[in-house]
Structure 1
Amino acid sequence: MTAETSDAEVETNWLTPAEMRAWRGYMDGNQRLMDVLNRDLQEKHDLSLADYRILVLLSESPDGSLRMSDLADGVLSSRSRLTHQIRRMEAQGMVTRDTCLEDGRGVLAVITDEGRARLAEAAPTHVAGVRRNLVDQLTKSQLKVLAEVFERVDKAIGDR
């Protein structure tokens, strides 16, 4: 497809029934899974799944901080969306922002003691939800295939 060619002008390679079943199964299952995991965290810990993911990434970094650009890449978010998210989390005392000492221009997101405490409190709920709603629904071989499939998809899209 060239810049002058629209999607409508290209011959559509429609999905087969098996491909459609896989696609819709993924779409519906993923949406329901993310909704239930988010709802569990919201109801029990006043955290969104997005908050949780940011806290996890920050807690896993050696000094509890990441450049905002690296964090945006890590949570697959736009920088502007992440900036708004970090502002909300900062207002709740879970993170702070600091200047990157390496170049003085970059901004770091830093997990606070409050953020670590909220993460530690929410982690068992999140893991239980992942286990109950995904891991325990699959065999070991299905889990292996699931990991391989989405690692491949992630790599293919990430390489573009």
Structure 2
Amino acid sequence: LLMPESNRESRVRNQYQNYKTIKAARGIKIAAKNLEKSMAGLPLFVGRKEDEVDYFKNEIQNILKNALNSIKLQETGVYVQASTLGSLEALLEFLETSNIPYAGINIGTVHRKDIVRASAQLDRKPQWAVVLAFDVRIERDAQDYADSVGVKIFQADIMYHLFDMFLVHRE
């Protein structure tokens, strides 16, 4: 975990200090292998021995499981996809206050399997056969499949833009 010296800009080439732990939101650089397996919004642990790695895997799985289990899905509703756990929680809270039900959730890139899950609404209430993709990429085959089965995908990096697109679709 590398962080620039205090009161220094991280984009400017300068000396970085090495840290064992960092708490709170800070601008840092992480130098490590397999970072693509990490998930934004969750703790990042370093395990040097095999038993440490197994322990940290279980820790992360429990943290994610607890967070996702606290989310109450509806029988019918939109499918929500976000880039991080925090942004997913924020979007779900916004949808709740706007009385928009959600029947499925996921974190990360929109894949074909997400469209398959969203397409379950086509048999129940077709107006909910929608994926709200917040700050995420959409794989080409996912978009193609959505187009072929009639699932709408709305993608935006700003929550309110996503909401506005959905409202236009609903009316």
Is TM > 0.5 for Structure 1 vs Structure 2? no
TM-score relative to the length of structure 1: 0.30
- Structure with the larger helix share: 1
| Greater RCO (Cα-Cα under 8 Å, separation 6 or more) | 1
- Structure with the larger strand share: 2
